[in-house]
Amino acid sequence: MGTRVTRCTMARDSIPTLDLREYTDGDEGSREAFVEKMGEALEDIGFFALTGHGIPLDDIGRAYEVSETFFNMDDATKMRWNQSSNQRGYVPFGVEHAKDNPAPDLKEFWQTGRTLPEDHPLKSEYATNIWPTEDCPEFGPAVDGLYIQMEELSRTLLEVCSRYLGKGPNWLPDMAVDGNTILRILHYPALGDDVPDGAVRSAQHEDINFITLLVGASAAGLEVMDHDGGWIAVEGNHEHIIVDSGDMLQNLTNGLFKAVTHRVVNPPDANSDRYSMPMFTHPRDDVDLTPRPEFIERTGGKALYPSITAGEFLRQRLIEIGLIDDD
């Protein structure tokens, strides 16, 4: 893409909405327009809502159905599938917290990653997926099927990012081939009256990874911080996928793409629960996230972020949010 004029930013009451069909089905002019609009969204507010993404709503609905079945099981049953230190399986309520907030997030969740063949060179680097087959046999096929579709979509979006940054279309997608990409199934239970001081469903934070794809949540609550420090409520829409850029992409581009603070607030009705399914698209652990010189030049001429690999970056953040021990 060519040289751009710096845009004036102002407060808003919503995030942009983009239609991916402009890129996947459009002519070259439509494709270029989509690249520009998506890049500008990530450079400005760091978030947008995506329509026309091609993932069948029935597949999304099925994944939510089996997830609700699993999370409605008793705690002892769910804990049989706890491998939280491996980024796989069940993570119980109140374990994770935001980087700078010691109060636990009011959520429980399931994590799954990529399935690699036994002879794959990275097989030993990633934990093996586990599935609650005995307790919920439909869970694995529904969730893993959604993982495959969402990862394919993430590759298309990384291609668009690459083009906006003036790189070849495979620049970012190639970094994410066989990356440590995680799909989380999040359950925010009904709160009742016993909520710890300072605890919210998900305290304000930025995502760790390259980009996040969030399948439309079952209820409202997601809020994005605007330029003026105010909060934009992201309206729930089951046909949208919410996309945001994370810390790793911010590091690589020296802040050209923004990792924007967001949160999930507690609902007015303490008796309601909420489900959501974010995919955190990661590069491989060996990918160098050092800010590239061309992006340093475009962001003021000084490196604002460290030289670090994706694996080192991820480990540091997982320690900070309480998912692994510092040993």
Residue 72 has φ and ψ, to the nearest 5°, of -80, -5
How does pLDDT run across 223-239, given as a tens digit for each residue? Answer: 999 988 999 989 767 78
Helices (H) and strands (E) in the chain, counts: 9, 13
The pLDDT score that the predictor gives to residue 49 is: 95
The pLDDT score that the predictor gives to residue 106 is: 79
The pLDDT score that the predictor gives to residue 141 is: 96
5, pLDDT greater than 60: no
The H or E element spanning position 233 is strand 231-233
What are the C-alpha distances in Å from 11 to residues 31, 187, 205? 28, 31, 20
* Residue 176 CB neighbours (<10 A): 22
Q: How far is Cα 240 from Cα 15, in angstroms, rounded to an integer? A: 12
Over range 257-280, report the average pLDDT. Answer: 83
The pLDDT score that the predictor gives to residue 280 is: 96
DSSP tag of 115: -
Q: Mapping DSSP to helix (H, G, I), strand (E, B) and coil, where does residue 318 land? A: helix
Q: Which domains does the chain have, with CATH numbers?
A: 17-320 (2.60.120.330)
The token duo for 221 is: 């609550």
Range of weakest confidence among 26-40, 139-153, 213-227: 213-227
The pLDDT score that the predictor gives to residue 3 is: 38
The pLDDT score that the predictor gives to residue 72 is: 94
The H or E element spanning position 231 is strand 231-233
DSSP tag of 222: E
Residues facing residue 83 across a β-bridge? 88
In the chain, % of residues over pLDDT 90: 65
How does pLDDT run across 39-80, given as a tens digit for each residue? Answer: 999 999 999 999 999 999 999 999 999 999 999 999 999 999
How does pLDDT run across 166-221, given as a tens digit for each residue? Answer: 999 999 999 999 999 999 999 988 776 666 655 566 778 899 999 999 997 666 67
Handedness of CA 320, 322, 323, 326 (dihedral sign): positive
The pLDDT score that the predictor gives to residue 6 is: 39
The pLDDT score that the predictor gives to residue 13 is: 82
In the chain, % of residues over pLDDT 70: 84
Give this prediction's pTM: 0.89
Q: Please check whether residue 262 is in contact with residue 81, taking contact to mean a CB–CB distance below 8 angstroms.
A: no
How does pLDDT run across 82-122, given as a tens digit for each residue? Answer: 986 678 999 988 776 656 656 667 789 999 999 888 999 98
